Amino acid sequence: MHRLILIVLLVFCSFSSWSSKFSLDKFDIEINSDFLGEEIFLFGQKDEDSDLIIIFEGAEKEGNLFTKTKRGLLWINEKQEIDRIPSFFAIFSTPKYSLNEIFLISSITSNHVLIRNFTERLYQIRTGLKIKGLYFENELQSIEENLFINKFKIPDNISAGDIKVSLYEIQNNEVINIKQKVLNIQKKGLTSKFEKMLEEQSLIYTIILVVFSIIFSLLSNWLFKRR
């Protein structure tokens, strides 16, 4: 797979001018019952004189941030309701940009809620997402001159929805070019059907579970009685 991507990458670059561009080896991910996360190849080329920052940002959802605080002997969760939490967030850069350096480029931070400012709350959200494998920062791996390729994993706890991928070309701390693509994540098959049924037809969901429970219990009882 890695070799194939390299060939695609070389072909991809040989027919084009030396402007920065990127692609992914897939733009659609299906969450099925055998979904264990998905490996993605991010590859492309960069202009020699520019730096690159590529940001993956999942669809924003409402959620809660729980902070553990010690009260007496026990660790208690303190809850904060958050309106907008991306379902996934990853930053790739070349050369490696720290988050503090990215904070200085307002035309990037203003586009992404999770890196909008230095606040403690955003730090806590990023840490919470990092623990779930839904946030990370990586350096883009250069392979030949201005080509880069990175392999990373979309974890199995990812929610369905679009992930917006934005490429920022930077010179002297100014964004000179932006390119965007979308990585689509959908729940399919039985997984999606069960979830829909649980949300919309709870009575049928209950009946199916009850019928299955009774049939299987009777069957196992009968099988072991016969022997």
Give me the residues that bind another protein (CB under 8 A), please: 31-37, 61-68, 73-79, 85, 87, 124-125, 127-129, 131-132, 134, 156-157, 159, 187, 190-191, 194-195, 198-199, 202-203, 205-206, 208-210, 212-214, 216-218, 220-221, 223-224
Q: E strands, 19-156, where? A: 21-24, 28-31, 38-45, 51-58, 60-71, 74-86, 89-94, 135-139, 142-144, 147-154
Q: Is 129 or 140 the residue whose CB approaches another protein more closely?
A: 129
The residue (of 1 and 74) whose beta carbon lies closer to another protein is: 74
Distance in Å, CB of 216 to another protein, minimum: 5
Which residues are CB-contacts of 123 (< 8 A; sequence separation ≥ 6)?
Answer: none
Least spacing, CB of residue 67 vs another protein, in Å:
6
DSSP state of 17: -
- To the nearest whole angstrom, how small is the minimum distance from the Cβ of residue 58 to another protein? 10
Check residue 134 and give left, alpha or beta (phi > 0: left; psi -120 to 50: alpha).
alpha
User: At its nearest, how many Å lie between another protein and the CB of residue 137?
Assistant: 17
Contact yes or no for 163/56 (Cβ under 8 A): yes
Q: How far is CA 81 from the centre of its chain?
A: 21
Output 129 or 165, the one with its CB closest to another protein.
129
Residue number with CB closer to another protein (33 or 107)? 33
Q: Measured from the CB atom, is 24 or 133 closer to another protein? A: 133
Q: 126 with 100: CB under 8 angstroms?
A: no
Cα separation, 83 vs 106, in Å, equals 22
Q: Which is nearer to another protein, 81 or 174 (CB)?
A: 81
**Looking at the DSSP assignment, which residues form a beta bridge with residue 167?**
54, 179
Q: Closest separation between CB of residue 186 and another protein, Å? A: 13
Q: Smallest distance from the beta carbon of 130 to another protein, in angstroms?
A: 9
Gap between the Cα atoms of 221 and 88, Å rounded: 46
